[in-house]
A and B are shown apart, each in its own frame.
Chain A
Amino acid sequence: MKQSDIPTGSGSSPSAVPFWRDAGKRALVFQLAALLIVAGTCYYLFSNTQANLERQSIATGFGFLDKEASFEIAESVIAYSAADTYRKALLVGALNTLKVSFIGIILTTILGTFIGIARLSSNWLISRLSGMFIEVMQNIPVLLQLFFWYAIFYEAFPSPRQALNPFNGVFLCNRGLIFAIPEAHAAYPAMAWTFLIILVIGWFLNRWGYRRQELTGQAFPALRITAAAAILLPLGVWFLYGTPTAMNVPVLRGFNFQGGLTVSPEFSALLLGLVLYTSAFVAEIVRAGIQSISRGQIEAAMAIGLRPGRVLQLVVLPQALRVIIPPLTSQMLNLTKNSTLAIAIGYADFVAVTNTTINQTGQAIEGVALIMIVYLFFSLSTSVFMNWYNKRMALVER
């Protein structure tokens, strides 16, 4: 309710205007009434549900969260067993959703940008190929794509006993991609920390370099220095710890491989399906963003002697991103929401785990409420972040 453009009348002789003719007060009354109606309706629905559940002696409340889940989950980022609580099981599901959405969003952004730029390429073949990719991926329902990729994973690859072994320590079969990982050692966390610290320092260095260039005109190659340090210093740390090389190699024992790291077919199929589908949309958004910059600006930038990379960095991207980011945000939200299709191909995402929970406890209302809250949280945090980024990227009018 906008009030700013309505004269409130409070300035000129307030006593002469009765409150029902005072637009400001009237608006206040209406808003109060609306609030009361909403609150009342919600209270009625809530108490009605509560009473009905009680009458049918159906258990209510979130007490079940602390009971033993007693079902197994195929893959988990944190340690989980059937003896843990429903709370933990739901957390595992939420983390699985987060895992596939996070990796999916990053891959989608990269692939989508790449295809979007390729679509504008002056090379006829590249531009038509990416055009075809976009048309095909956009127009096949994502659920069908998931079934397709999943079927490829379990139909095309052999059983563990006949697993493909393309490289030493890497196995490919219908249990997934299983590969050797370094045996746990104190060197690896130390390397990760070094890497992170260098990134932080690099960020400050970049800011300093930027300011120096504004003041003195002298450029400082902060990016290159950071990149070199980010590669070399962790390596140095690795040498300091005495170059540990022990590997955790997967071995076929009984039904399946033991050890190493497994990327399951369910996860791969879901990730692949979501990334390919969403990146087609992202590609179109990127193409539209770049095309929104008038040709004249690019020509002008080149005329003053900027190299093509600098043209993109200084002229095209700052303006194109403004057009790209808002629709890109909604594609990211789409990807997160589409990840609920996981249940069709057996990936244990939040909805899948909640469904099992609902079925074992019978508390559908609580379960569905949890699903709503969690996805609302994921979506809102994504859009809060993207809005913040959008604000930073928006052109500052001078």
Chain B
Amino acid sequence: MKLTKVLVLILTLCLMVVTFAHAGKDLDAVKSKGFIQAGVNGGVFGFGMPDEKGVWKGLDVDTARAVAAAIFGDADKVKFTPLTAQQRFTALQSGEIDLLTRNATRTLSRETQLGLNFVAVNYYDGQGFMIPKNLGVKSAKELDGATVCVLPGTTTEQNAADFFRNNKMAWKPVVIESTTELAKTFFAGRCDVLTSDASQLAGTRAIAPNPKDYIILPEIISKEPLAPAVRHGDDQFRDIVDFSVLAMINAEELGITSQNVDEMLKSTDPVVQRFLGVSPGNGAALGLDEKWVYNIIKQVGNYGEVFERNVGVNTTLGLERGLNALWTNGGLMYSPPFK
């Protein structure tokens, strides 16, 4: 019957639109599932990408692993969902993932209008420009009239527009959805400039046919504090994610690494004792096992280790610590006390 068909069609359509049916507290849901579903990038080297064996690697991946170590005592109890820049917030809102660690910039509008809570920053980034050396440009202020390759679905489009407007320069964006296709277009010379977060530019330059032909201009035109995010509505889960990131930073500050964490358990310093759960309290306060920090450091490492392993100077990306150094070394990484 024709009417039945129409009815079924309408119902299916409506159901496809509505995907907002999830119930229960996030932490309870995660615990009963037995693992964390984390949304990651999937295509950015050093932050979230599977290696040739299919094992997920990266700074964001390790952040999610740290949360798993804190909750389950096992950093491997996490499954990864690769998401595009456009899918990521919807995936978190709809409950498809529990935790978003996908180089997302914390902004006011995202925090308020998307129903998200960002936690402690795990990478301080900023938007920059990459340009072929032979164009002879030394500063981003000389880019009047340039054609610029931009990745959509990020704060990048807006930052670039703001920068050119503010400096009264004309420009033309070329906006292509796929990161790899965009890079190919740029290397072929369709654009004069490629703009993105500086960390991603370094990653893109690493895969250039001839990396030495490209320079990253000195100007950083935006602040991009990249932070993990959770949904509104479960403060306990939010605290756990927040302090899992902070625990890695604090561990670096206290000189605790995955190598020496077992010896550190015997430390007489009350701060270290409290931090590692030798003198209990912190774990109970978060609703976790008292060994949660120990598990993070033992299985994932402190922030410095994670940084050097994934994006540091000895990796393909070769990034300096810069803003991401500890506050004691002139960076921005600072953890509140664990007490």
Interface residues of A (CB under 8 A from B): 1, 31, 34, 37-38, 41-42, 45, 48-49, 52-53, 55-59, 70-74, 81-83, 147, 150-151, 153-155, 159, 174-175, 253-256, 258, 265-266, 343-346, 348, 352, 355-356, 358-365, 368-369
Contacts and interface: CB of A to CB of B under 8 A. Distances in A.
Contact of B20 (A52, A150, A343, A368): A52
Given A73-B173, A255-B145, A52 B3 contact: no
Given A49-B17, A345-B176, 16 more contacts: A58-B115, A71-B158, A82-B161, A147-B181, A159-B189, A174-B189, A174-B190, A254-B146, A258-B145, A344-B176, A344-B178, A356-B175, A361-B109, A362-B110, A364-B90, A368-B17
B160 A72 contact: yes
B114 A45 contact: no
B164 interface: yes
A359 B115 contact: no
Interface residues of B, number: 58
B152 A356 contact: yes
B144 to A, nearest CB: 6
A74 B232 contact: no
Contacts of B231: 56
A72 B161 contact: yes
Given A34-B3, A58-B93, A59-B113, A45 B146 contact: no
Nearest to B174: A346
A61 to B, nearest CB: 11
Contacts of B171: 72
A154 to B, nearest CB: 4
B15 interface: yes
B269 to A, nearest CB: 42
B167 interface: no
B332 interface: no
A361 B157 CA distance: 13
A258 B185 CA distance: 22
A1 B3 contact: yes
A178 to B, nearest CB: 12
B233 interface: yes
Nearest to A60: B113
Given A48-B18, A344-B177, A362 B109 contact: yes
B284 interface: no
Given A82-B161, A174-B189, A175-B147, A359 B153 contact: yes
Given A34-B7, A58-B115, A159-B189, A344 B161 contact: no
Interface in B1-48: 1-3, 7, 10-11, 14-15, 17-18, 20-21
Interface in B134-155: 135, 143-147, 152-154
Nearest to A363: B113
B85 interface: yes
A41 B86 contact: no
Contacts of A150: 185
A266 B110 CA distance: 31
B185 A56 contact: no
Given A38-B7, A57-B232, A82-B161, A352 B17 contact: no
Contact of B175 (A57, A153, A348): A348
Given A56-B231, A346-B175, A346-B176, A174 B17 contact: no
Contacts of A72: 157, 160-161, 164, 171-173
A359 B173 contact: no
Nearest to A173: B189
Contacts of A256: 145-147, 172
B188 to A, nearest CB: 5
Q: Please provide the 4 A-B residue pairs with the shortest distance between their CB atoms, ordered closest to farther.
A: A56-B115, A52-B20, A59-B113, A154-B190
Contacts of A362: 89, 109-110, 113-114
Contacts of A361: 109, 113
A56 B233 contact: yes
Nearest to B143: A255
A70 B158 contact: yes
Given A56-B231, A345-B176, A346-B174, A83 B165 contact: yes
B94 to A, nearest CB: 9
A83 B158 CA distance: 11
Contacts of A253: 145
B147 A56 contact: no
B74 interface: no
B230 to A, nearest CB: 11
B162 interface: yes
A174 B15 CA distance: 45
Contact of B17 (A74, A355, A356, A365): A365
25 contacts: A37-B7, A38-B10, A41-B11, A42-B10, A42-B14, A45-B18, A48-B18, A49-B18, A56-B115, A58-B115, A72-B157, A151-B184, A154-B188, A174-B189, A253-B145, A255-B135, A255-B145, A255-B146, A256-B147, A345-B181, A346-B176, A355-B153, A356-B152, A362-B110, A363-B113
B96 interface: no
Contacts of A352: 152, 175
A150 B1 CA distance: 46
B154 A45 contact: no
Given A49-B17, A368-B17, A71 B190 contact: no
Contacts of B154: 359
**Residue from A37, A52, A56 with most neighbouring chain B CB atoms (10 Å):** A56
Nearest to A343: B177
A15 B248 CA distance: 85
**Residue from A73, A153, A174, A362 with most neighbouring chain B CB atoms (10 Å):** A362
A174 B190 CA distance: 6
B192 interface: yes
Contacts of B113: 58-59, 361-363
A359 B113 CA distance: 11
Contacts of B17: 45, 49, 365, 368-369
B185 A346 contact: yes
